[in-house]
Amino acid sequence: MLEGLLAGLSTAFTFTNIMMVIGGCLIGTFIGMLPGLGPMSIIAIMIPVAITIGDPSAALILLAGVYYGAVFGGSTSSILINAPGVASTVATSFDGYPLARKGQAGKALTVAAIASFSGGTIGAILLMVFAPALASVALLFHSSEYFALMVVGLSAIAAFAGTGQVSKALLMTFLGLMMATVGEGVLFNAPRFTMGVMDLQSGFGFITLAMAMFALPEAIFLVLDPGRSKTGDGSDSGKIKNLRITREEARKITPVIGRQSLQGFFIGVLPGAGATIASFLGYAVERNIASKEEQEEFGKGSVKGIAAPESANNAACTGSFVPLLTLGIPGSGTTAILLGALIALNVSPGPRLMVDEPQIFWAVIISMYLGNLVLLILNLPLIPYIAKVLAVPRNYLIPFILFFTLMGAYIGQNNATELLLLVGFGICATLFRFADYPLAPLLIGFILGPLLENNFSRAMQLYDGIGFVWERPMTLGLLILAVMLVVLPGYRARRARLRAEGVADGD
């Protein structure tokens, strides 16, 4: 571990990688502030740029910086104009915007910046402590356990669905798995499901699909609904003063940041959870344990109500790298895109990553310390100036989104067929969004599909059939867990419905 840590330090503190951290944090911060255009879209657009860098460490440091930079910067629009930049900062707007309406926007932004920095830093420390332990346990895994892990990852899609929408999420996951089968199979080198199109022999391009699912629909929505481009409420958000917080306020938020950083990290570690769930849960927990007087302040401009979701979502953002790096399972839609980026860079995430390529593993973790410090230094002095960016109408972003999306798809596979696929998938993704179908499960199914098939085929060959299911207890246990993850949400929803009907009948 010590040798790997030293290798990571020497890799992370090169001039190139420090520039990657600063560049990723800057890009992520500005994109995070723009309502609706979250980390999934920008990371999908940035992947072709990252691949051209050549060095996997530098590319991953850049993409990771964009990710937590977007979560960090997403609080700005939530506080200033009540328009969350990313889903994980929705809870921040509950108290951030009322505090800004009182003329204390600077204070709200300062609390958010401190909480984000603290949550991200504590998350990075915990990542450093727990990732090796998880990796050492994961070394016990064979092909059958990896297959079962992929099934667990796919069954966690209930987290991407709203109440009563688990069936939609499952449907999208199966669609992603079906799309992953296009191209050459694992057992045979013959092409399948290509419909005679030579360009599909290698399957659908991940970059094309990722941008079609997230970036292109955003541009289409802006065209169809110009009202989405309005980001201001007429207030002068550029004039922000009084960035200081009092000692009393610092004393109030310190235990909140500590609690929610720990809670947020462990929620982020769970596959399928993520920063959005952590932020809402953090806000709810702090509100419930607060005194009656403090509870009345929640929703009216409480500093605790800003610190809780901000520290939780940044810690969860860091925590989501644990299953990604050590097990190869994405913990959220954004880390699903990062998983695809890892594979595109010929880096195999999993328990062997820390052993085979420790400089990459530790460099990414160490860069998170540096990245959180960079974000704090960049954001506090720039708060008054960054706010002016929010006055730019979002419809001006349409040409830029389309340009980077089309160029990224073409460069990714270097053929014009990808542009046709991009447009086709983009239109389908827009229709899915209109029909309220979650898109993250589709991408997770597409990314985990080949890994699922590879490990299943290998396990079948080793054990002459599906005997590996009961011959290896860990495999059986993981498959039972996967079934429970799929069944429990439906069971709970049914119980709640029956209970509600019972109450209605009693009335």
Indicate the average pLDDT of the chain. 77
Of 67, 137, 156, 125, residue with least CA distance to 339: 67
Number of neighbouring beta carbons within 10 Å of residue 172: 23
Note whether residue 507 is domain-resident. Answer: no
Inform me whether the pLDDT recorded for 182 exceeds 80.
yes
Indicate the pLDDT class of residue 347, thresholds 50, 70 and 90. Answer: confident
| SS3 assignment for 233-283 | CCCCCCCCCCCCCCHHHHHHHHHHHHHHHHHHHHHHHCCCCCHHHHHHHHH
- Domain-embedded: residue 506: no
Residue 35 per-residue DSSP state = T
Say if pTM beats, i.e. exceeds, 0.85: no
Tokens of 32: 């995070």
Instruction: Indicate the range of 121-130, 317-326, 399-408 predicted with least confidence.
Output: 399-408
Three-state DSSP at 165 gives coil
pLDDT in tens, 217-227: 877 777 776 55
d(CA 294, CA 302): 8
* 295-321 b/e (C-beta count within 10 Å ≥ 16 → b): eebbeebbbbbbbbbbbbbbbbbbbbb
Q: Which segment of 63-67, 157-161, 477-481 scores lowest on mean pLDDT? A: 157-161
Judge whether residue 236 has pLDDT over 50. Answer: no
CA distances from 11 to 8, 20, 47, 167, 404 (A): 5, 12, 21, 45, 29
pLDDT of residue 4: 66
Q: Is 505 part of a structural domain of the chain?
A: no
Task: Yes or no: say if 72 and 120 are a contact pair by the CB < 8 Å rule.
Answer: yes
Read off the tokens for 354.
Answer: 């820390």
Which sign, positive or negative, has the C-alpha torsion 189, 192, 194, 196?
positive
pLDDT higher than threshold 70 for residue 304: yes
Strands 183-184 and 191-192: antiparallel
Residues facing 183 on adjacent strands: 192
Which has the higher per-residue pLDDT, 409 or 62?
A: 62
Token pair belonging to 68: 């937590």
Q: Tokens in use for 231?
A: 């980001």
- What does the block give as tokens for 504? 């209605």
**Rounded distance, CA 57 to CA 61, Å?**
6
Write down the pLDDT at residue 82: 66
Q: From the CA atom positions of the chain, what is the Rg in Å?
A: 23
Q: Is 264 within 8 Å of 319 (Cβ atoms)? A: yes
pLDDT at 381 over 80: no
pLDDT at 257: 92
Residue pair 173/442 in contact by the 8 Å Cβ criterion: yes
**144: pLDDT confidence band, cut at 50, 70 and 90?**
confident
Domain range for 243 is 2-500
Q: Which long-range contacts (CB under 8 A, 24 or more apart) does 479-484 make?
A: 479/148, 479/151, 481/152, 481/155, 482/148, 482/151, 482/152, 482/154, 482/155, 483/155
SS3 of residue 131 by DSSP:
helix
Domain count for the chain, please give it.
1
